[in-house]
Structure 1
Amino acid sequence: MPKELRVAAYAVCVRDGRMLLARWVTGDGRKRWTLPGGGMDHGEDPYDTVVREAEEETGYAVEPLALLGVDSELRSHPRRLGPATDFHALRIVYEVCVTGGELRHETNGSTDMAAWHALDEVPALDRVGLVDMGLTLWRERPALGRTEGAGK
């Protein structure tokens, strides 16, 4: 099985009891809420990645405040053309604050909407596991930067 590594940086942005999320559109058209962020370009620093991706997906300029942790996930990833891949996602998660810009939706990207959601409403959203992992890192701030059971 072919192997693929994707390194990405994501933003946890909580303000006034609300969390900023982007709605990801999957290849088959499903829509699920996720943390703003995405893949690093070759040679790009993860700090710069999270700033760029947050602006692309939400319209906001952000400033990273803290490195919350790193999440590593291994799974089989189907492909439209060709065999499935042994996919390894390495996700670097920062706490960020909004420093400028205005909320807007991404066009011609992997997300179609950005919105603030009350923290107590997040569990009811159709979301990816990355949202829960980001919230856990933000709330618990583990010394080693990984959630309980990570990497298993």
Structure 2
Amino acid sequence: MREKLRVAAYAVCVRDGQLLLARSPAPDGTPEWVLPGGGMEHGEDPHDTVMRELAEETGYRIEVTGLLGVDSSRHTVPRRNLRGPVDHHGVRIVYEGRVTGGELRNEIGGSTDLAAWHDLTAVPELTRIRLVDVALRLWRERPANGRVPT
């Protein structure tokens, strides 16, 4: 089985009781909400990754105000073409960010199609990826070891 490691950086941006999210299609095409952020490029610092990805996906510039923690996820992705299944390991670095400029806009030609602010109380009702919940727990609980039990 092939192995794939993906390291990514994401931001929790909360303003006036609202969380900034981006929408991305799930593998089956269903839209789901994700944290703004994404994969690191080779040689890129995670701090730079989160600022670049957030600008690409939302139009905003941010100041990284803290490191909230790290989430690790591992699963097998089913057979793709003739290459067989993939053992995928995702390492997600979660930062706290504050919007400092730019204007909210949707990404064109990227991995997301919509960016929006959502009331924190409405997030549980959204179709979202697990990382949104993990990141909000990191933001609320601020664990000293930078991780929450899953």
- How far residue 83 of structure 1 moved from its aligned partner, in angstroms, is 1.2
1:100 is matched with which residue?
A: 101
Q: From the superposition, tell whether residues 13 and 79 of structure 1 become closer, same or farther in structure 2 (CA, over 3 Å).
A: farther
* Counterpart residue number, 1:20: 20
Q: In the alignment, residue 103 of structure 1 is paired with which amino acid?
A: L
Q: Secondary structure at the match of 1:71?
A: strand
2:130 corresponds to: 129
Q: In the alignment, residue 107 of structure 2 is paired with which amino acid?
A: E
Please give the TM-score of this superposition, normalised by the length of structure 1.
Answer: 0.95
What is aligned with 1:49?
Answer: 49
Which runs of 5 or more residues in structure 1 are unaligned? Answer: none
Deviation of 1:79 (Å)? 5.1
What's the CA shift for 1:25?
1.7
CA RMSD of aligned residues (A): 1.0
- Paired residues, number: 149
Structure 1 residues 49-77: Cα deviation after superposition (integer angstroms, max 9, x where no partner): 00000000000001110000000111012
Give the unaligned 5+ runs of structure 2.
none
| Of 25-34 and 7-16, the range deviating more from structure 2 | 25-34
- Matched with 1:8 is 8
Amino acid at match of 2:97: V
Counterpart residue type for residue 135 of structure 2: G
Of 47-56 and 69-78, more deviation after overlay is shown by 69-78
TM-score, length of structure 2 as denominator length: 0.96
Q: Secondary structure at the match of 1:111?
A: coil
Q: Which amino acid aligns with 2:138?
A: L
Q: Shift in Å at residue 18 of structure 1?
A: 0.2
Aligned equivalent of 1:116: 117
Runs of 4+ in 1 over 3 A off after TM superposition: none
Note the C-alpha offset of 1:27.
4.0
**How far did residue 80 of structure 1 move?**
3.5
Identity fraction in percent:
62
**Could you tell which deviates more after superposition, 25-34 or 118-127?**
25-34
Give the SS at the match of 1:130.
helix
